[in-house]
Amino acid sequence: MDIVVCVKRVPFTQEVDLEIDRSKRFVATESLAHVINDWDSYAVEEAILLKEKLGGEVTAVTVGSEDDEEVLRRALAMGADRAVRIESGGMPMDGTVVAGILASVIRNIPCDLVLTGVQADDDNQAVVGVTLAELLGLSHAAVVRGIEVSGADIVARIELEGGVDEIRRLRLPALLTIQTGINEPRYVSVMGIRKASKKELKVIDVKELGLSQNDLVPPTEIEEIYLPADTGGAEMLKGDPSVVAEAVIDIMRRKGVAL
Amino acid sequence: MTGDILVFVEQRAGSVREVSYQLLSKANQICAELSVRLTAVFIGPKASFLSSDFYKKADRVLVLEDERFGDFNCEIARDVMVGIIKEQRPAMVLVGHTPWGMDLAPAIAAKTGLPLSTDCVDIKIEAGKVKAVRQLYGGKLFARVVFKDESKGCIFTVRPGSFSVEGYPDRMGEIVPIEAPKDLPEPSSRFVEYVDTGAGEVDITQAELLVSIGRGVGEKERIEEIQELARILGGVVSCSRPVVDKGWLPKYHQVGTSGKSVKPKVYLALGISGAFQHVAGIAGAGTVIAVNKDKKAPIFRVADYGVADDLFAFSDAIKKALKK
Ligand SMILES: Cc1cc2nc3c(=O)[nH]c(=O)nc-3n(C[C@H](O)[C@H](O)[C@H](O)COP(=O)(O)OP(=O)(O)OC[C@H]3O[C@@H](n4cnc5c(N)ncnc54)[C@H](O)[C@@H]3O)c2cc1C
Ligand SMILES: Nc1ncnc2c1ncn2[C@@H]1O[C@H](COP(=O)(O)O)[C@@H](O)[C@H]1O
């Protein structure tokens, strides 16, 4: 079973004051720490688990800059066999453009299964996976939290709302967008990542892909990014922890909690 | 903009999903603004269709009743929607941002070439231009999204819970049976069954006080400290999704769209950022108190009271205060 898994590097934004630039269309993220998109680390682990069970090879792919190779090396350290980075040259992209770029590369990688994350932690779009499937003509399922391969089919457990799952049988080749919790992504050490640097990491320039200008112009554009309004939020309880604790206990009692 | 507003109605096991009513109400407002028609698309058994009243919310409901399609099949839904879009050229297409919607909407967009904006919390029309409002970074920022070319129509997935279903007039929709496209290929995927992930030992939906743990707790070993806090307060422990994903607590503790909806008198959120999939589960909570060391965490926008502090410092202080 040969598998391609798409991974994205995303900024870590907790406890940071995100800075909107003067054009009001971009956020400065260069100085932030970056991590592998949470959903993608589950997708990589799932690919490796399937490979360990069924044999085959795993290729990790990202569209991004040289810094983004960090997530490919992590995937290699987890057990992927090779990696491909498509150099995007910093051009503006949306989910449709990224899917188009990925499709033109993955089309040339023989595989039975393509995995992506459900969504990326930065843009929260949930667009790239299914769009890519359609461009490649693969059957697809979104928000998958269980996989079983059965002959020429794959049986996916799709997470619906409210604790209900749908079991769906898809013909291979297929693309699944992977939900967190499907497995336990393995730990990789710095040492492991260093060792994995011996594995193949191919870089392709987006200009070599023969995509038309039309494919590279994003159909959606951010007109403005803004901070949520300050009004209407929580009443913040301030002061010494003991003062805050008393206030919270008092609120609970007033709201009818028996303490 | 002259085409209809087209709404995909989501139906599961015979009943119309709440999110579809929300879409219809938003579509209703847009239709009034643009003086265009509201057309809903329903794929499924007629019985379930007639037992609900959503058809009153549209000018027209295109109903595809076919026993083969009683359960959601993304490829069928895609092909039916693509057929309707090509023939009728709607100005906008609205789909719920649900697991099925996430499967369907990008597929329709890819097949029609129409632009797509997902997980929208609002859709506006300003000076004849369509604008979608959505969030970035788990709700830390908002973005207004525009389309390069919307002249052929555009597609949105709309976040559940973004629009109220109250306060718009009935339209007494005309019911128009439609046929499946003739050349419909055999789908490459098929529905097998629904599985209930089941109840657990603890029922968080009945608790009066929930002490809810998020990823901010950091490691499994420290969950015990919060469980102790819950015991002292006489509350029940619940949690956000990552806590379950990591295997720190069983699934039946999870609050949110893919977990449970809860309605405690007080919901104490410790180290939870406030993603919409989580917050959707606490709409019924009386009072929400959030503790997060990031004073910009989105949870503070939905909480009634907030504490910008380390959750363990907070927990220790409560324990100490109650010992007195
Ligand atoms: C289809 C789908 C369904 C989903 N369903 C659900 C669902 O049902 N329920 C759900 O919860 N999520 C769900 N999610 C996931 C959701 O999008 C978020 O990823 C998740 O809710 C984040 O959980 P969290 O707030 O605990 O973690 P994070 O977003 O990582 O937030 C952790 C927070 O803890 C704070 N923190 C860190 N350390 C401390 C400390 N020492 N003291 C105080 N604060 C601290 C941080 O500042 C941060 O705000 C779903 C996602 C998808 C795509
Ligand atoms: N630049 C990228 N390179 C590779 N894969 C990506 C990229 N952006 C998104 N993806 C994949 O698509 C999934 C969904 O992302 P999105 O549609 O942007 O929310 C992610 O979890 C990744 O698997």
Query: Tell me, what's the ipTM?
Result: 0.95
* Mean pLDDT within A167-172: 97
- How distant is the Cα of B56 from the closest Cα of chain A, in angstroms? 26
Portion 79-98 of B in contact with A at CB < 8 A:
97-98
Of B190, B208, B321, the CB nearest to A257: B208
Contacts of B324 (CB under 8 A, 6+ apart): none
Rounded to 5°, the CA angle A233-A238-A240 comes to: 155
* Mean pLDDT within A141-166: 95
- pLDDT at B49 (0 to 100): 67
A16 — pLDDT class (breaks 50, 70, 90): confident
**Three-state SS at A244:** helix
Average pLDDT over all residues of chain A: 95
Of B142, B188, B196, the CB nearest to A163: B196
Domains detected in chain B: 5-177 (3.40.50.620), 204-323 (3.40.50.1220)
CA dist A6 and A196 (Å) reads: 18
Give the pLDDT confidence of A66-79 residue by residue, as tens digits: 999 999 999 999 99
- Whether chain B has a CB inside 8 Å of the CB on A57: the answer is no
Tokens found for residue A130: 């299914």
Three-state SS for chain B is: CCCCEEEEECEECCEECHHHHHHHHHHHHHHHHHCCCEEEEEECCHHHHHHCCHHHHCCEEEEECCHHHCCCCHHHHHHHHHHHHHHHCCCEEEEECCHHHHHHHHHHHHHHCCCEEEEEEEEEEECCEEEEEEEEHHHCEEEEEEECCCCCCEEEEECCCCCCCCCCCCCCCEEEECCCCCCCCCCCEEEEEEEECCCCCCCHHHCCEEEEECHHHCCHHHHHHHHHHHHHHCCEEEECHHHHHCCCCCHHHEECCCCECCCCCEEEEECCCCCHHHHHHHCCCCEEEEECCCCCCCHHHHCCEEECCCHHHHHHHHHHHHHC
Instruction: Please state which CATH number belongs to domain A3-216.
Output: 3.40.50.620
The neighbouring-strand residues paired with B118 are none
CA of A96 relative to ligand 2 center, distance in Å: 10
Q: Tell me which residues have their CB closer than 6 angstroms to ligand 1.
A: A 14-15, 118-119, 143; B 99, 138, 214-216, 240-242, 254-259, 271-273, 275, 277-278, 291-294, 297, 310-311
- Whether chain B has a CB inside 8 Å of the CB on A21: the answer is no
The residue contributing the CA closest to ligand 1 atom 36 is B216
- How distant is the Cα of A248 from the closest Cα of chain B, in angstroms? 8
- pLDDT at A155 (0 to 100): 98
B306 with A237: CB under 8 angstroms?
yes
CA dist B65 and B69 (Å) reads: 8
Chain B: residue nearest A217 by CA? B148
**Three-state SS at A86:** strand
C-beta atoms of A257 and B118 within 8 A: no
C-beta atoms of B109 and A157 within 8 A: no
**Three-state SS at A111:** coil
| Interface contacts A/B by beta carbons within 8 Å | 275
- Whether chain B has a CB inside 8 Å of the CB on A236: the answer is yes
How does B114-135 read in b/e, with b if 16+ C-beta sit within 10 Å?
Answer: bbbbbbbbbbeeeeeebbbbbb
- pLDDT at A209 (0 to 100): 95
- How distant is the Cα of B269 from the closest Cα of chain A, in angstroms? 12
pLDDT above 90: residue A59 = yes
Q: Are strands A220-226 and B141-147 parallel, antiparallel or unpaired?
A: antiparallel
Portion 156-215 of B in contact with A at CB < 8 A:
187-198, 208-209
- Pick from A220, A218, A226: which is nearest to B139 by CA? A226
Tokens found for residue B2: 């002259």
Q: Are strands A9-11 and A34-36 parallel, antiparallel or unpaired?
A: antiparallel
**Sole residue written with tokens 């710095």:** A190
CA of A88 relative to ligand 2 center, distance in Å: 14
Give the pLDDT confidence of B205-242 residue by residue, as tens digits: 999 999 999 999 999 999 999 999 999 999 999 999 99
CA dist A78 and A60 (Å) reads: 11
- Pick from B297, B216, B257, B218: which is nearest to A179 by CA? B257
- How distant is the Cα of A72 from the closest Cα of chain B, in angstroms? 22
Q: Which residues of A touch B260 (CB under 8 A)?
A: 162-163
Burial class (CB within 10 angstroms; exposed 0-12, middle 13-18, buried 19+) of B169: exposed
CA of A84 relative to ligand 2 center, distance in Å: 14
Residue B134 to residues A68, B141, B265: CA-CA distances in angstroms?
A: 25, 9, 30
**Three-state SS at A247:** helix
Q: Tell me which residues have their CB closer than 6 angstroms to ligand 2.
A: A 6-8, 37, 39-40, 43, 61-64, 95, 98, 116-117, 119-120, 123, 125-129
- Whether chain B has a CB inside 8 Å of the CB on A121: the answer is yes
Which of the residues in chain B have pLDDT under 50? none
C-beta atoms of A222 and B144 within 8 A: yes
Q: Which residues of A touch B280 (CB under 8 A)?
A: none
- How distant is the Cα of A5 from the closest Cα of chain B, in angstroms? 18
Of B148, B244, B321, the CB nearest to A221: B148
Burial class (CB within 10 angstroms; exposed 0-12, middle 13-18, buried 19+) of B185: exposed
- pLDDT at B181 (0 to 100): 81
High-pLDDT (> 70) share of chain B, %: 98
A24 conformational bin, left if phi > 0, alpha if psi -120 to 50, beta if neither = left
Residue A40 to residues A61, A119, B119: CA-CA distances in angstroms?
A: 11, 9, 19
- pLDDT at B9 (0 to 100): 95
- What are the two backbone dihedrals, phi and then psi, of residue A247, each rounded to the nearest 5 degrees? -65, -45
C-beta atoms of A255 and B287 within 8 A: yes
